[in-house]
Structure 1
Amino acid sequence: MLIDALWRNCVLHDVFGSTGFLGRYLVSKLGKVGTQVVTPYRDEDEARHLKLMGDLGQIVRMEWDMRDEQSIAECLRHSDTVYNLVGRDYPTKNFNYEDVHIAGPERIARIAAENGVSRFIQVSHLNADVNSPSKFYATKAEGENRVRDIFPNATFIRPSAMYGAEDKFLNNMAIWSIWWKLNNAETTVRPVHVLDVAQALSNLLNLPKVSGVVNLPGPSTLTYQYLLDLVSSVTLRPPSKAPTLPKNVAEAIASVGKTVWWPALSPDEVARRFINDSEVAGDWSTVGMAEPSEIEDHAITYLRRYRSSANYVRPVEFPPRPVLTASAE
């Protein structure tokens, strides 16, 4: 009872998906603000680093399961704001896209509403569309609809592909460039820095309630070919000579890859390599921010590790940006 009384007097925020790529940066931002943050986790080892992101007792780690409603209720029953960052790039035998992007957000939103949570912030994707050929994008959009039915004034954050220290974007391009050459590497993308997105999410707490969709794309539209050239220029490795695989061949290889235990490329990720990022305007001013930073401003920070010792401190010369004249989709 004493703990309940103390928590009722605190400003408390809940970050589902706190152990993920974006989640750790959001928790760090919230910790600096001074609020108390609940960080639900599935694996204790994946949550240990979060404890250092706030003062003693500020970061509250709690074990949860997406299918266990009682554990969800225990995590959020004292919260003022709930962030849901839970997502899945590829389906697994235990959790498919529908489980993570539709049923999960709907369950969390329903339990949050039952416990009097006043603000719900759902992280989606810039390309969320119920009619998308990608199940990832389609289920992201359907998840938004389910949350909206429960929280009509919810905030839906739609970032584009994010890059950063632990990303699956620049790092994968440096290691597995063949998978980024699909569609002749002509697909366009609007990469955004993960720290910019985390700051935008943190800013929402100090702004009047923002309802509806907030699009957070990067400042520039780039092709995968330009990004591959950028990675090559920063790592000082020669451009990959890997062939461009036909879509059906890539899908067949990805289907076989599903049999391994580690996260390999899925057929849906192959489909996404052929879908251009939406050209919808960014809503950065809505979250109190100017234009986000360009990818060239941070590329060396995240790609220097791939240089040889002889080239470690050499300056960077970026390739010229191409002029986009037509849709690659």
Structure 2
Amino acid sequence: MKNGLVTVFGGSGFLGKHVVRALVAKGYRVRVPMRRPHTGMDLRVIGNVGQVQLMQANLRYEKSVQRAVEGSDAVVNLVAILHEAGQQSFESVHVRGAETLAKAVAAEGITNFVHVSAIGADKDSKSDYARTKGEGENIVREYVPSADILRPSIMFGNEDGFFNRFASMAQLSPILPLIGGGKTKFQPAYVADVADAIARRVEVGASAQTYELGGPRVYSFKELLELMLDVIAKKRLLVPVPWFAANMMGFGGEMAGALPFLEPFLTRDQVKNLKNDNIVSESAQGFDELGITPETVEAIIPSYLMKYRKYGEFHQPGKDSWPEEA
């Protein structure tokens, strides 16, 4: 399907930009439906002139989704939210949005469909995020039985929302919270590796498989914060926060997130998610089956967290002439 047309919903997001690059590198034409196409002009300069096309579409409106998938050889769904805001609810995005897109894909006769979910997706989960992710998977498979489902762990990379968030907090606060004691386990995946996995599934053609994508090492939440602090050369006190207190923080985060232009630091639903490890299950297919050797956290995060050091790339920890951080 070289030079075929791949439509990528969510192509302007953190993962989406990497997916667009990976597909363009393989020679595909890429269509990126967006609610506000004028905000995605940086995507148009990826690849050759005209190789990336932007168009207006919204998963809440079936006709716009139908127009977006017309003529596509493959479709990728990356659309997701981490917290609810206004009309952007877990139900509307992860369930109804996935259903609208899957229906349109099926009606167009497209069998090459890659749906990106998340490790921990489970229709019976107590977390609304994980529950709706699980329901979305089931709906996709109902309408497009051939669809491949990819479940990444938390992703890291230049614009990630994990290491950048806590590194920013470390700039201002002498302490960082260890939610639930910091024992939750993660298996972070490099965003470019996840994008490569998606592009490879598009290239091969969907085959009704499910893949769980995690990096080469498992870390506790505490270990990830310690690693981040080491990279940015800062010493901060890591304070365990019991679950009941974390729930209170989550409620406060939701109140703050209700204000315009503010994102909650934490929500009660995220606290529920943090009670479960976010790692690849033993029996799952993953990067190995896709022929990908995933990058390590240690190899990548210094390249984009260096800006958080007091002297940036010129900082030399251990040198007497450089003052230590508190």
Fold conserved between structures, TM > 0.5:
yes
Deviation by residue 1:192-211 (Cα, 9 ceiling, x = unmatched) = 10010001111113325432
- The yes-or-no answer on 1:28 pairing with 2:31 is no
User: How many residue pairs were aligned?
Assistant: 308
Offset of residue 175 of structure 1? 2.3
Q: What is the TM-score normalised by the length of structure 1?
A: 0.88
Q: In 1, distance between residues paired with 2:155 and 2:271?
A: 18
- Give the counterpart of 1:145 among 138, 141, 155: 138
Q: In 2, distance between residues paired with 1:296 and 1:129?
A: 30
State the partner residue of 1:215: 212
Structure-to-structure mapping, 1:182-261, within 5 angstroms: 182-207=179-204, 209-240=206-237, 244=241, 246-261=245-260
State the partner residue of 2:274: 273
State the partner residue of 1:285: 288
Q: In 2, distance between residues paired with 1:142 and 1:310?
A: 44
Comparing 292-301 with 42-51, greater Cα deviation is found at 42-51
Offset of residue 179 of structure 1? 6.9
State the partner residue of 1:263: 263
Offset of residue 114 of structure 1? 0.7
Deviation by residue 1:76-96 (Cα, 9 ceiling, x = unmatched) = 101010000000000111110
Q: In 1, distance between residues paired with 2:272 and 2:115?
A: 24
State the partner residue of 1:296: 298
Deviation by residue 1:140-176 (Cα, 9 ceiling, x = unmatched) = 0100001111011110000000011111011112123
Over aligned residues, Cα RMSD in angstroms? 2.2
- Give the counterpart of 2:93 among 96, 100, 104: 100
**Unmatched segments (≥5 aa) in structure 1:** 1-7, 317-329
Offset of residue 311 of structure 1? 6.3
Kindly provide the amino acid, as one letter, of the partner of residue 287 in structure 1. L
State the partner residue of 2:307: 305
Offset of residue 243 of structure 1? 6.1
- Is contact 2:185–2:279 with CA below 8 Å preserved after alignment? no
Offset of residue 118 of structure 1? 2.5
Equivalent residue of 1:83, what SS? strand
Q: In 1, distance between residues paired with 2:192 and 2:311?
A: 28
Equivalent residue of 1:138, what SS? helix
Equivalent residue of 1:157, what SS? strand
Q: In 1, distance between residues paired with 2:72 and 2:114?
A: 12
Equivalent residue of 2:100, what SS? helix
- The yes-or-no answer on 1:11 pairing with 2:4 is yes
Kindly provide the amino acid, as one letter, of the partner of residue 263 in structure 1. E
- Is contact 1:257–1:266 with CA below 8 Å preserved after alignment? no
State the partner residue of 1:322: none
Equivalent residue of 2:118, what SS? coil
Q: In 2, distance between residues paired with 1:236 and 1:279?
A: 30
State the partner residue of 2:324: none
State the partner residue of 1:314: 316
Offset of residue 29 of structure 1? 0.9
Offset of residue 109 of structure 1? 0.8
Q: In 2, distance between residues paired with 1:93 and 1:276?
A: 29
Q: In 2, distance between residues paired with 1:59 and 1:38?
A: 6
- The yes-or-no answer on 1:71 pairing with 2:64 is yes
Kindly provide the amino acid, as one letter, of the partner of residue 141 in structure 1. G
Q: In 1, distance between residues paired with 2:44 and 2:197?
A: 22
- The yes-or-no answer on 1:44 pairing with 2:37 is yes
Equivalent residue of 2:131, what SS? helix
Offset of residue 42 of structure 1? 1.4
Change (3 A) 1:278 1:300: closer
- Is contact 1:14–1:38 with CA below 8 Å preserved after alignment? yes
Deviation by residue 1:208-254 (Cα, 9 ceiling, x = unmatched) = 54322111112111011111111111101112355635233223322
State the partner residue of 2:323: none
Equivalent residue of 2:271, what SS? helix
Equivalent residue of 1:158, what SS? strand
Q: What is the TM-score normalised by the length of structure 2?
A: 0.88
Equivalent residue of 2:241, what SS? coil
Equivalent residue of 1:27, what SS? helix
State the partner residue of 1:159: 152
- Give the counterpart of 1:114 among 101, 107, 110: 107
Q: In 1, distance between residues paired with 2:45 and 2:32?
A: 12
Q: In 1, distance between residues paired with 2:160 and 2:229?
A: 17
- The yes-or-no answer on 1:86 pairing with 2:83 is no
Offset of residue 274 of structure 1? 2.4
Equivalent residue of 1:185, what SS? coil
**Unmatched segments (≥5 aa) in structure 2:** 319-326
Q: In 2, distance between residues paired with 1:312 and 1:196?
A: 29
Q: In 1, distance between residues paired with 2:315 and 2:82?
A: 34
